[in-house]
Protein backbone atom coordinates (compact mmCIF):
# COMPACT_ATOMS: atom_id res chain seq x y z
CA UNK A 1 0.00 0.00 0.00
CA UNK A 2 2.84 2.40 0.80
CA UNK A 3 4.49 1.80 -2.57
CA UNK A 4 1.19 2.22 -4.44
CA UNK A 5 0.40 5.45 -2.62
CA UNK A 6 3.77 7.08 -3.24
CA UNK A 7 3.75 5.99 -6.88
CA UNK A 8 0.44 7.77 -7.46
CA UNK A 9 1.12 10.71 -5.13
CA UNK A 10 2.40 13.09 -7.86
CA UNK A 11 -0.72 12.45 -9.98
CA UNK A 12 -3.00 13.03 -6.98
CA UNK A 13 -1.24 16.29 -6.16
CA UNK A 14 -1.45 17.37 -9.81
CA UNK A 15 -5.20 16.70 -10.00
CA UNK A 16 -5.97 18.40 -6.67
CA UNK A 17 -3.78 21.40 -7.46
CA UNK A 18 -5.42 21.76 -10.89
CA UNK A 19 -8.84 21.81 -9.22
CA UNK A 20 -7.65 24.77 -7.12
CA UNK A 21 -6.24 26.78 -10.05
CA UNK A 22 -8.33 29.03 -12.25
CA UNK A 23 -8.05 30.03 -15.91
CA UNK A 24 -9.18 33.42 -17.11
CA UNK A 25 -11.18 33.50 -20.34
CA UNK A 26 -12.35 37.00 -21.15
CA UNK A 27 -13.54 38.59 -17.95
CA UNK A 28 -14.55 35.35 -16.22
CA UNK A 29 -12.29 32.85 -14.42
CA UNK A 30 -13.01 29.16 -14.86
CA UNK A 31 -11.68 26.10 -13.04
CA UNK A 32 -8.69 24.67 -14.90
CA UNK A 33 -9.80 21.08 -14.50
CA UNK A 34 -13.34 21.82 -15.72
CA UNK A 35 -14.08 24.92 -17.78
CA UNK A 36 -17.81 24.58 -17.14
CA UNK A 37 -17.33 25.64 -13.51
CA UNK A 38 -16.64 29.23 -12.52
CA UNK A 39 -14.19 29.96 -9.73
CA UNK A 40 -16.67 32.38 -8.14
CA UNK A 41 -19.32 29.67 -7.73
CA UNK A 42 -20.30 29.20 -4.06
CA UNK A 43 -20.75 25.42 -4.38
CA UNK A 44 -17.30 25.11 -5.92
CA UNK A 45 -15.74 27.14 -3.09
CA UNK A 46 -17.52 24.98 -0.51
CA UNK A 47 -16.25 21.84 -2.27
CA UNK A 48 -12.67 23.12 -2.26
CA UNK A 49 -12.77 24.02 1.46
CA UNK A 50 -14.46 20.80 2.58
CA UNK A 51 -12.81 18.21 0.33
CA UNK A 52 -9.90 19.37 -1.85
CA UNK A 53 -7.82 21.39 0.64
CA UNK A 54 -8.04 18.84 3.55
CA UNK A 55 -7.28 15.97 1.18
CA UNK A 56 -4.31 17.84 -0.30
CA UNK A 57 -2.95 18.59 3.18
CA UNK A 58 -3.32 14.94 4.16
CA UNK A 59 -1.32 13.85 1.10
CA UNK A 60 1.37 16.43 1.89
CA UNK A 61 1.64 15.44 5.58
CA UNK A 62 1.57 11.67 5.09
CA UNK A 63 5.27 11.49 4.02
CA UNK A 64 6.18 13.29 7.26
CA UNK A 65 4.32 10.62 9.22
CA UNK A 66 6.24 7.88 7.38
CA UNK A 67 9.49 9.77 7.98
CA UNK A 68 8.73 9.97 11.72
CA UNK A 69 8.17 6.19 11.81
CA UNK A 70 11.43 5.60 9.96
CA UNK A 71 13.25 7.98 12.32
CA UNK A 72 12.10 5.88 15.29
CA UNK A 73 13.66 2.79 13.63
CA UNK A 74 16.88 4.52 12.55
CA UNK A 75 19.00 2.35 14.90
CA UNK A 76 17.70 -0.97 13.50
CA UNK A 77 17.60 -0.31 9.76
CA UNK A 78 19.21 -3.72 9.12
CA UNK A 79 16.34 -5.66 10.74
CA UNK A 80 14.10 -7.70 8.45
CA UNK A 81 10.92 -6.18 9.89
CA UNK A 82 12.17 -2.64 9.24
CA UNK A 83 13.19 -3.52 5.70
CA UNK A 84 9.79 -5.09 5.08
CA UNK A 85 7.89 -2.02 6.32
CA UNK A 86 10.12 0.89 5.23
CA UNK A 87 12.60 -0.63 2.78
CA UNK A 88 11.05 1.32 -0.11
CA UNK A 89 12.33 4.57 1.42
CA UNK A 90 15.93 3.85 2.42
CA UNK A 91 17.40 0.67 0.89
CA UNK A 92 18.96 2.54 -2.05
CA UNK A 93 20.65 5.11 0.19
CA UNK A 94 23.56 5.16 2.61
CA UNK A 95 22.72 4.66 6.32
CA UNK A 96 23.37 8.34 7.10
CA UNK A 97 20.93 9.43 4.34
CA UNK A 98 17.99 7.12 5.06
CA UNK A 99 15.67 10.17 4.82
CA UNK A 100 16.76 11.22 1.30
CA UNK A 101 13.73 9.72 -0.41
CA UNK A 102 11.47 12.14 1.50
CA UNK A 103 13.57 15.07 0.24
CA UNK A 104 13.01 13.86 -3.31
CA UNK A 105 9.27 13.46 -2.65
CA UNK A 106 8.91 17.04 -1.41
CA UNK A 107 11.03 18.39 -4.26
CA UNK A 108 8.62 16.80 -6.77
CA UNK A 109 5.58 17.88 -4.75
CA UNK A 110 6.69 21.50 -4.53
CA UNK A 111 7.51 21.62 -8.25
CA UNK A 112 4.07 20.22 -9.19
CA UNK A 113 2.11 22.59 -6.91
CA UNK A 114 4.18 25.64 -7.85
CA UNK A 115 3.95 24.94 -11.59
CA UNK A 116 0.16 24.43 -11.60
CA UNK A 117 -0.64 27.46 -9.45
CA UNK A 118 1.68 29.94 -11.23
CA UNK A 119 1.69 28.85 -14.88
CA UNK A 120 -1.37 31.01 -15.65
CA UNK A 121 0.37 34.20 -14.54
CA UNK A 122 3.86 33.96 -16.06
CA UNK A 123 4.95 31.08 -18.25
CA UNK A 124 8.65 31.92 -18.59
CA UNK A 125 9.10 32.82 -14.91
CA UNK A 126 7.49 29.55 -13.81
CA UNK A 127 9.81 27.46 -16.00
CA UNK A 128 12.82 29.43 -14.79
CA UNK A 129 12.02 28.79 -11.12
CA UNK A 130 11.41 25.10 -11.85
CA UNK A 131 14.84 24.91 -13.52
CA UNK A 132 16.41 26.52 -10.45
CA UNK A 133 14.74 23.98 -8.13
CA UNK A 134 15.95 21.08 -10.29
CA UNK A 135 19.46 22.57 -10.37
CA UNK A 136 19.43 22.79 -6.57
CA UNK A 137 18.45 19.11 -6.35
CA UNK A 138 21.23 18.20 -8.81
CA UNK A 139 23.82 20.12 -6.75
CA UNK A 140 22.70 18.42 -3.54
CA UNK A 141 23.04 15.00 -5.18
CA UNK A 142 26.54 15.87 -6.38
CA UNK A 143 27.68 17.21 -2.96
CA UNK A 144 26.26 14.58 -0.61
CA UNK A 145 26.13 11.54 -2.95
CA UNK A 146 23.48 9.76 -0.85
CA UNK A 147 23.14 6.64 -3.00
CA UNK A 148 24.96 3.42 -2.18
CA UNK A 149 25.67 2.61 -5.82
CA UNK A 150 27.34 5.22 -8.00
CA UNK A 151 25.47 3.97 -11.06
CA UNK A 152 22.14 4.87 -9.47
CA UNK A 153 23.53 8.30 -8.53
CA UNK A 154 24.64 8.91 -12.12
CA UNK A 155 21.26 7.79 -13.44
CA UNK A 156 19.41 10.16 -11.11
CA UNK A 157 21.68 13.07 -12.01
CA UNK A 158 21.27 12.35 -15.75
CA UNK A 159 17.46 12.30 -15.39
CA UNK A 160 17.46 15.69 -13.64
CA UNK A 161 19.85 17.11 -16.24
CA UNK A 162 17.63 15.89 -19.10
CA UNK A 163 14.62 17.56 -17.46
CA UNK A 164 16.50 20.86 -17.31
CA UNK A 165 17.56 20.52 -20.96
CA UNK A 166 13.99 19.75 -22.05
CA UNK A 167 12.65 22.77 -20.15
CA UNK A 168 15.21 25.05 -21.81
CA UNK A 169 14.41 23.62 -25.26
CA UNK A 170 10.70 24.06 -24.55
CA UNK A 171 11.25 27.75 -23.80
CA UNK A 172 13.29 28.18 -26.99
CA UNK A 173 10.51 26.53 -28.97
CA UNK A 174 7.94 28.79 -27.28
CA UNK A 175 9.90 31.85 -28.41
CA UNK A 176 10.87 30.76 -31.97
CA UNK A 177 7.99 28.33 -32.70
CA UNK A 178 10.30 25.70 -34.27
CA UNK A 179 9.09 22.14 -34.82
CA UNK A 180 12.64 20.74 -34.90
CA UNK A 181 13.14 21.58 -31.22
CA UNK A 182 9.98 19.64 -30.34
CA UNK A 183 11.30 16.59 -32.22
CA UNK A 184 14.67 16.93 -30.45
CA UNK A 185 13.07 17.03 -27.00
CA UNK A 186 10.94 13.99 -27.80
CA UNK A 187 13.98 12.04 -29.06
CA UNK A 188 15.98 12.88 -25.92
CA UNK A 189 13.11 11.77 -23.72
CA UNK A 190 12.57 8.58 -25.76
CA UNK A 191 16.25 7.53 -25.76
CA UNK A 192 16.59 8.11 -22.04
CA UNK A 193 13.50 6.00 -21.33
CA UNK A 194 14.78 3.26 -23.64
CA UNK A 195 18.19 3.38 -21.91
CA UNK A 196 16.57 2.92 -18.47
CA UNK A 197 14.52 -0.04 -19.74
CA UNK A 198 17.69 -1.70 -21.11
CA UNK A 199 19.42 -1.26 -17.74
CA UNK A 200 16.49 -2.86 -15.90
CA UNK A 201 16.31 -5.81 -18.32
CA UNK A 202 20.08 -6.24 -18.15
CA UNK A 203 20.05 -6.40 -14.36
CA UNK A 204 17.17 -8.88 -14.36
CA UNK A 205 18.92 -11.16 -16.86
CA UNK A 206 22.24 -11.11 -15.03
CA UNK A 207 20.64 -11.78 -11.65
CA UNK A 208 18.98 -14.94 -12.95
CA UNK A 209 20.83 -18.26 -12.58
CA UNK A 210 18.46 -20.55 -14.47
CA UNK A 211 19.57 -22.92 -17.22
CA UNK A 212 17.60 -21.04 -19.89
CA UNK A 213 19.43 -17.79 -19.17
CA UNK A 214 22.79 -19.59 -19.27
CA UNK A 215 21.90 -21.11 -22.67
CA UNK A 216 20.90 -17.66 -23.99
CA UNK A 217 24.17 -16.16 -22.74
CA UNK A 218 26.22 -18.90 -24.38
CA UNK A 219 24.33 -18.43 -27.65
CA UNK A 220 24.92 -14.67 -27.78
CA UNK A 221 28.53 -15.11 -26.69
CA UNK A 222 29.19 -17.25 -29.76
CA UNK A 223 27.56 -15.01 -32.38
CA UNK A 224 27.93 -11.47 -30.97
CA UNK A 225 31.13 -9.40 -30.90
CA UNK A 226 32.87 -9.21 -27.56
CA UNK A 227 32.19 -5.50 -27.01
CA UNK A 228 28.49 -5.86 -27.76
CA UNK A 229 28.25 -8.91 -25.50
CA UNK A 230 29.98 -7.03 -22.65
CA UNK A 231 27.50 -4.16 -23.05
CA UNK A 232 24.45 -6.43 -22.89
CA UNK A 233 25.66 -8.92 -20.28
CA UNK A 234 27.50 -7.98 -17.09
CA UNK A 235 30.57 -10.00 -16.26
CA UNK A 236 30.81 -11.58 -12.85
CA UNK A 237 32.91 -9.07 -10.98
CA UNK A 238 35.90 -9.84 -8.80
CA UNK A 239 34.27 -8.70 -5.56
CA UNK A 240 31.48 -11.25 -6.02
CA UNK A 241 34.03 -14.04 -6.45
CA UNK A 242 35.90 -12.84 -3.38
CA UNK A 243 32.64 -12.81 -1.43
CA UNK A 244 31.96 -16.44 -2.39
CA UNK A 245 35.46 -17.43 -1.30
CA UNK A 246 35.04 -15.71 2.06
CA UNK A 247 31.76 -17.58 2.54
CA UNK A 248 33.53 -20.90 1.87
CA UNK A 249 36.30 -19.98 4.33
CA UNK A 250 33.71 -19.20 6.99
CA UNK A 251 32.04 -22.58 6.46
CA UNK A 252 35.38 -24.39 6.76
CA UNK A 253 36.26 -22.52 9.98
CA UNK A 254 32.94 -23.42 11.58
CA UNK A 255 33.44 -27.06 10.57
CA UNK A 256 36.92 -27.14 12.16
CA UNK A 257 35.62 -25.56 15.37
CA UNK A 258 32.92 -28.23 15.62
CA UNK A 259 35.47 -30.99 15.07
CA UNK A 260 37.75 -29.59 17.80
CA UNK A 261 34.81 -29.35 20.20
CA UNK A 262 33.90 -32.99 19.55
CA UNK A 263 37.52 -34.08 20.11
CA UNK A 264 37.69 -32.21 23.44
CA UNK A 265 34.43 -33.80 24.51
CA UNK A 266 35.75 -37.29 23.68
CA UNK A 267 38.94 -36.67 25.66
CA UNK A 268 36.93 -35.54 28.67
CA UNK A 269 34.71 -38.62 28.47
CA UNK A 270 37.82 -40.85 28.39
CA UNK A 271 39.26 -39.14 31.48
CA UNK A 272 35.98 -39.60 33.36
CA UNK A 273 35.67 -43.25 32.36
CA UNK A 274 39.23 -44.00 33.52
CA UNK A 275 38.69 -42.37 36.90
CA UNK A 276 35.35 -44.14 37.36
CA UNK A 277 36.94 -47.51 36.54
CA UNK A 278 39.62 -46.89 39.17
CA UNK A 279 36.98 -46.14 41.80
CA UNK A 280 35.00 -49.26 40.93
CA UNK A 281 38.10 -51.51 41.22
CA UNK A 282 39.21 -50.34 44.70
CA UNK A 283 36.43 -48.48 46.52
CA UNK A 284 37.91 -49.31 49.97
CA UNK A 285 41.28 -47.71 49.16
CA UNK A 286 39.72 -44.58 47.66
CA UNK A 287 40.71 -42.39 50.60
CA UNK A 288 44.36 -43.49 50.47
CA UNK A 289 44.50 -42.88 46.71
CA UNK A 290 43.23 -39.34 47.12
CA UNK A 291 45.64 -38.62 49.98
CA UNK A 292 48.62 -39.71 47.86
CA UNK A 293 47.57 -37.94 44.66
CA UNK A 294 48.41 -34.29 44.21
CA UNK A 295 45.97 -31.65 43.13
CA UNK A 296 47.61 -31.49 39.71
CA UNK A 297 46.18 -34.92 38.90
CA UNK A 298 42.68 -33.42 39.11
CA UNK A 299 43.20 -30.48 36.75
CA UNK A 300 41.36 -32.25 33.91
CA UNK A 301 38.40 -32.72 36.23
CA UNK A 302 38.47 -29.09 37.27
CA UNK A 303 38.45 -28.07 33.62
CA UNK A 304 35.41 -30.18 32.94
CA UNK A 305 33.13 -27.55 34.42
CA UNK A 306 33.78 -25.38 31.37
CA UNK A 307 32.41 -28.05 29.04
CA UNK A 308 28.78 -28.97 28.52
CA UNK A 309 28.52 -32.77 28.46
CA UNK A 310 26.34 -34.44 25.93
CA UNK A 311 25.23 -37.17 28.40
CA UNK A 312 23.76 -36.46 31.86
CA UNK A 313 25.54 -39.54 33.27
CA UNK A 314 28.98 -38.08 32.51
CA UNK A 315 28.09 -34.76 34.16
CA UNK A 316 26.76 -36.57 37.26
CA UNK A 317 29.95 -38.69 37.62
CA UNK A 318 32.20 -35.65 37.20
CA UNK A 319 30.26 -33.69 39.84
CA UNK A 320 30.41 -36.53 42.39
CA UNK A 321 34.09 -37.04 41.67
CA UNK A 322 34.90 -33.38 42.31
CA UNK A 323 32.83 -33.32 45.52
CA UNK A 324 34.76 -36.31 46.92
CA UNK A 325 38.05 -34.65 46.09
CA UNK A 326 37.12 -31.41 47.85
CA UNK A 327 35.80 -33.29 50.92
CA UNK A 328 39.10 -35.15 51.29
CA UNK A 329 41.03 -31.89 51.09
CA UNK A 330 38.86 -30.48 53.88
CA UNK A 331 39.49 -33.58 56.04
CA UNK A 332 43.26 -33.20 55.51
CA UNK A 333 43.20 -29.60 56.64
CA UNK A 334 41.13 -30.42 59.74
CA UNK A 335 43.51 -33.24 60.78
CA UNK A 336 46.54 -30.96 60.35
CA UNK A 337 44.90 -28.28 62.51
CA UNK A 338 44.13 -30.83 65.26
CA UNK A 339 47.76 -32.08 65.27
CA UNK A 340 49.08 -28.53 65.55
CA UNK A 341 46.74 -27.76 68.45
CA UNK A 342 47.80 -30.96 70.26
CA UNK A 343 51.48 -30.06 69.91
CA UNK A 344 50.84 -26.57 71.27
CA UNK A 345 49.01 -27.97 74.30
CA UNK A 346 51.84 -30.42 75.06
CA UNK A 347 54.41 -27.67 74.83
CA UNK A 348 52.46 -25.44 77.20
CA UNK A 349 52.04 -28.25 79.74
CA UNK A 350 55.78 -28.97 79.71
CA UNK A 351 56.58 -25.32 80.21
CA UNK A 352 54.20 -25.04 83.16
CA UNK A 353 55.69 -28.15 84.88
CA UNK A 354 59.23 -26.85 84.45
CA UNK A 355 58.22 -23.50 85.92
CA UNK A 356 56.87 -25.19 89.06
CA UNK A 357 60.06 -27.19 89.59
CA UNK A 358 62.23 -24.15 89.09
CA UNK A 359 60.24 -22.15 91.61
CA UNK A 360 60.77 -24.82 94.31
CA UNK A 361 64.50 -25.02 93.64
CA UNK A 362 64.71 -21.26 93.68
CA UNK A 363 63.63 -21.13 97.30
CA UNK A 364 66.19 -23.72 98.46
CA UNK A 365 69.29 -22.62 96.50
CA UNK A 366 71.38 -19.47 96.87
CA UNK A 367 71.18 -16.57 94.40
CA UNK A 368 74.16 -17.53 92.22
CA UNK A 369 72.96 -21.05 91.88
CA UNK A 370 69.44 -19.80 91.01
CA UNK A 371 70.75 -17.73 88.11
CA UNK A 372 72.72 -20.68 86.77
CA UNK A 373 69.69 -22.92 86.98
CA UNK A 374 67.55 -20.39 85.08
CA UNK A 375 70.09 -20.27 82.26
CA UNK A 376 70.26 -24.07 82.13
CA UNK A 377 66.46 -24.39 82.11
CA UNK A 378 66.16 -21.92 79.23
CA UNK A 379 68.69 -23.91 77.23
CA UNK A 380 66.76 -27.11 77.89
CA UNK A 381 63.54 -25.55 76.70
CA UNK A 382 65.15 -24.39 73.46
CA UNK A 383 66.58 -27.82 72.80
CA UNK A 384 63.21 -29.48 73.40
CA UNK A 385 61.54 -27.11 70.96
CA UNK A 386 64.13 -27.80 68.31
CA UNK A 387 63.71 -31.55 68.73
CA UNK A 388 59.93 -31.35 68.39
CA UNK A 389 60.16 -29.22 65.32
pLDDT of residue 237: 52
Query: Is 60 inside any structural domain?
Result: yes
Choose the final residue of a domain: 96, 121, 146.
Answer: 121
Measured CA to CA, the distance from residue 226 to residue 279 in angstroms comes to 79
pLDDT of residue 219: 77
Choose the final residue of a domain: 121, 154, 178.
Answer: 121
Sign of CA dihedral 354, 355, 357, 361: positive
| Other Cβ atoms within 10 Å of 146 Cβ, number | 22
pLDDT of residue 55: 85
Query: Is 184 inside any structural domain?
Result: no
pLDDT of residue 5: 61
Choose the final residue of a domain: 99, 121, 143.
Answer: 121
pLDDT of residue 164: 92
pLDDT of residue 62: 85
Degrees (nearest 5) of the Cα angle 334, 335, 340? Answer: 100
Q: Cα separations (Å) of 131 from 123, 288, 361?
A: 13, 98, 128
Measured CA to CA, the distance from residue 137 to residue 130 in angstroms comes to 11
Query: Is 264 inside any structural domain?
Result: yes
Sign of CA dihedral 87, 88, 92, 98: negative
pLDDT of residue 353: 57
pLDDT digit string (tens) for the chain, length 389 residues = 566 566 667 777 888 888 888 888 878 888 888 788 888 888 888 888 888 888 888 888 888 888 898 999 888 888 888 888 888 888 889 989 999 999 998 898 888 888 888 887 778 888 889 999 999 999 999 999 999 988 889 999 999 999 999 888 888 888 787 778 888 888 988 898 888 888 777 777 766 666 777 777 777 777 777 776 766 665 555 555 666 777 888 888 888 888 888 888 888 878 877 777 766 655 555 445 445 554 444 444 444 444 444 444 445 555 555 555 555 555 666 666 676 667 666 656 655 555 555 545 444 444 445 555 555 555 555 555 545 44
pLDDT of residue 122: 78
Query: Torsion over CA of 95, 96, 102 and 107, rounded to 10 degrees?
Result: -130
Q: Cα separations (Å) of 230 from 153, 197, 202, 219, 224?
A: 22, 17, 11, 14, 10
Query: Is 2 inside any structural domain?
Result: yes
Phi/psi of residue 27, nearest 5 degrees: -100, 0
Residue 244 domain boundaries: 240-357
Query: Is 59 inside any structural domain?
Result: yes
pLDDT of residue 322: 53
Query: Is 370 inside any structural domain?
Result: no
Output the pTM of the full model: 0.54
Give which of 221, 241, 242, 244 is closest to 233, Cα–Cα: 221
Q: Residue 303: in which H helix or E strand, if any? A: helix 299-303
pLDDT of residue 299: 47
User: How many domains does the chain contain in total?
Assistant: 2
Query: Is 128 inside any structural domain?
Result: no
Residue 323, SS3?
A: helix
Give which of 160, 105, 86, 90 is closest to 130, Cα–Cα: 160
Query: Is 3 inside any structural domain?
Result: yes
Sign of CA dihedral 338, 343, 348, 349: positive
pLDDT of residue 136: 94
Query: Torsion over CA of 374, 376, 382 and 383, rounded to 10 degrees?
Result: -160
Measured CA to CA, the distance from residue 87 to residue 389 in angstroms comes to 84
Amino acid sequence: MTVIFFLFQPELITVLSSSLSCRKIGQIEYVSINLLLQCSDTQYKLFTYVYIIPYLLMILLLPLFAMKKLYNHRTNLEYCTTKYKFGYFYLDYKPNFYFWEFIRIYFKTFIAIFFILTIQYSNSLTYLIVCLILSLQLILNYIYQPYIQKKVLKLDCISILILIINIVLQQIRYINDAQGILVLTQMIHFFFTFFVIIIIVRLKINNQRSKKIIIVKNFFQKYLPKRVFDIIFIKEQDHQRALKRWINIKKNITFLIKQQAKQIQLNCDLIISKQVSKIQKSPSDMKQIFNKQQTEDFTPLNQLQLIQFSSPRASYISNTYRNKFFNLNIEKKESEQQNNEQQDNDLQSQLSSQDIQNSQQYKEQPNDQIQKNQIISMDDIKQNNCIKK
